[in-house]
Amino acid sequence: MTNQQGPAIQVNGLEKSYKELRVLRGVSFEVARGSIFALLGSNGAGKTTAVKILSTLLKADAGTARVNGFDVAAQAADVRESISLTGQFAAVDEILSGRENLVLVARLRHLKDPGGIADDLLRRFSLTEAGGRRVATYSGGMRRRLDIAMSLIGEPPVIFLDEPTTGLDPQARIEVWQAVKDLAAGGATVLLTTQYLDEAEQLADRIAILHEGRIIVNGTLAELKRLLPPAKVEYVEKQPSLEDVFLSLVGTKA
Amino acid sequence: MAKHFFGDTTVLLGRSLRHITRSPDTIITTAIMPVALMLMFVYVFGGAISTGSGTPYVNYMLPGILLITVASGIAYTAYRLFMDLQGGIFERFQSMPTARSSVLWAHVLTSLVANLVSLVVVMLVALLMGFRSAAGVPAWLAVAGILTLFTLALTWIAVIPGLTAKTMEGASAFSYPLIFLPFLSSAFVPTGTMPGPLRVFAENQPVTSIVNAVRALFAGQPVGDDIWVALAWCAGILVVAYGFAMRVYRRRIT
């Protein structure tokens, strides 16, 4: 469905209020095709609202947004063909098995051979063994992996990930990061929201900081770093972080 | 996306029916309360109740018990809908190229199937307790039609708290007054002994006409005007509840 030229996502002057609360006060940005874009902000900054508008779940009060060349208000159906949304909480069916979840989404996207698609994704996300088990028995990381696997069905060119690693343990976080990197390597455009600075640093080609409903900076990591005074050279003993200790003890190669 | 409506609804119906077969306790708990009431009324109170109809008491009160079964069954309809909204899977479906109203219709059809199964369970217990019917095939079909219409009407009422509730308890609490309504009708005792205002209420509320019509059909007697009043009530409730539920639904998805 990459039938359109130009940026994968174009947002211009987006505004949204809930009663008196002005959540978005004129948000504008663009995301280039095949890149990873991080929308960084603290809780309540408006990240989820922006994602919901871009994925046609909410209507903006003002401004325009185009996803894969389609207007989110006027061409919502085309936008939905072009995207997948992975919300803040793993949107998986607990009562079904992992494989059944994948088959369900493949059917709802009207694809041929849902079973084959499901088996292929289970393999890619190392869930083959767990595929027949009910999702209720999965760990948080497995659930998130399944969630992301469900988002890849039909290979939508634009993928929204709303706080994909919130509430995950360090290992699961690394698994999700790897999955996101693989997605972008496969040509997809990824917009992710996060409140973790290191996550944006690790993954994103461009980072925008959303604060009180406005984008206050937007640039590459190098550009953002240049906003501060040049680094001074100091000699500091390199102590392992607790995360390094934890990961080496439980035996994961980070 | 309307072209996919029937296919998508079928896929989603399959999903929720799988939920039910994996937690058959929802069917059993739906049936337990009406069965317990039936046991209590037939074996404890029944001997002292004079219906003046000369039929076994179990025949007299079964129609009311069937309505109570439906009223308690639809609490699960609201619950299932509420859980989908909570878990985020509802948003996932809404952001996919799926016929949007399919999600709602699948829940409505699931409610019909689940309530039908509960009704059959209650009816079988009634047979064991000595319920006998003189009804022929057309009368049975008429009973099935009335109960289906009644279930549909109550299901659309259940959709409203399912979409709007803030807590799980809130999603199912609306069913308590509906369960109570048959007690203030001709379901268990003739309305003739009730004091003035209560009697007026009992004789003019929907349950009485439905109970009288189903009772006459079971007994193989002429149904008179009751069946038309019953159908009018069911259709009226259905139309109003459907209209209101769709309004709530549209507000919810935009």
Looking up residue A225, the CATH number of its domain turns out to be 3.40.50.300
Q: How far is B92 from chain A (nearest CA, A)?
A: 7
pLDDT reading at A1 higher than 70: no
Report the C-alpha gap between A215 and A25 in whole angstroms: 9
Indicate whether A240 belongs to any domain.
Answer: no
Partner A contacted by B7 (CB < 8 A): yes
pLDDT at B173 over 90: no
Q: Is A95 within 8 Å of chain B by CB?
A: yes
What pLDDT is recorded for position A170? 84
Predicted confidence at residue B2, as pLDDT, reads 61
ipTM over 0.95: no
Q: Could B22 and A93 be called an inter-chain contact, meaning their C-beta atoms sit closer than 8 Å? A: no
Distance of CA A51 to the CA centre of its chain: 9
What percent of chain B is modeled with pLDDT above 70? Answer: 99
Element (H, E) at B164: helix B137-164
Domain range for A193: 9-90+157-230
Contact A108 B93 (CB under 8 A): yes
Q: Is residue A181 part of a domain?
A: yes
Chain A contacts in chain B segment 77-136 (CB below 8 A): 87-89, 91-98
| Per-residue pLDDT at A253 exceeds 70 | no
Domain parsing of chain B, residue ranges: 2-253
Letter string b/e over residues A43-58, b meaning 16 or more CB atoms within 10 A of that residue's CB: eebbbbbbbbbbbbbb
Q: Would A72 be classed as within a structural domain?
A: yes
In a domain, A86, yes or no: yes
Residue A224 lies in a domain: yes
Residue A244 neighbours by CB distance under 10 Å: 12
pLDDT > 90 in chain A, percent: 37
Q: Considering CB atoms only, which of A81, A90, A104 is closest to B97?
A: A81
Average pLDDT in the B18-45 region?
Answer: 86
In B, minimum Cα distance to A56 occurs at B95
What does the pLDDT look like over A137-151, one tens digit per residue? 998 888 888 998 898
Binary contact (A110, B254; C-beta < 8 A): no
Partner residue opposite B94 with nearest CB, options A57, A93, A100 = A57
Residue A145 lies in a domain: no
> Which string of b and e fits B167-178 if b means at least 16 CB within 10 Å?
eeeebbebbeeb
Residues of B in contact with A100 (CB under 8 A): 18
Chain B: closest CA distance from residue A228 (Å): 39
Residue A254's pLDDT band, with cuts at 50, 70 and 90, is very low
Average pLDDT of the residues of chain A: 87
For residues B111-132, give the mean pLDDT.
91
Q: Is the pLDDT of residue A232 over 90?
A: no
Of A78-87, A187-196, A202-211, A227-236, minimum mean pLDDT range: A227-236
Contact A107 B22 (CB under 8 A): no
What's the domain count of chain A?
1
Residue A249 has pLDDT above 60, yes or no: yes
Task: Give, in order, the Cα–Cα distances in Å from B247 to each of A120, B4, B159.
Answer: 41, 22, 11
Residue A94 near chain B (CB below 8 Å):
yes
**Is A142 among the domain residues?**
no
Q: How far apart are alpha carbons A82 and A147 in whole angstroms?
A: 18
- Residue A1: which residues within 8 A CB-CB, separation 6 or more? A68, A81, A82, A156, A157
Q: Residue A55: closest CA among chain B residues belongs to which residue?
A: B95
User: How far is A19 from chain B, CA to nearest CA, in Å?
Assistant: 15
Amino acid identity at A72: V
Q: Do B95 and A90 touch (CB under 8 A)?
A: no
Q: Which residues of A fall within a CB distance of 8 Å from B19? A: 95
Q: What is the DSSP letter of A233?
A: P
Interface test with A, best of B92, B101, B102 (most A CBs within 10 A): B92
Binned at pLDDT 50, 70 and 90, residue A4 comes out as low
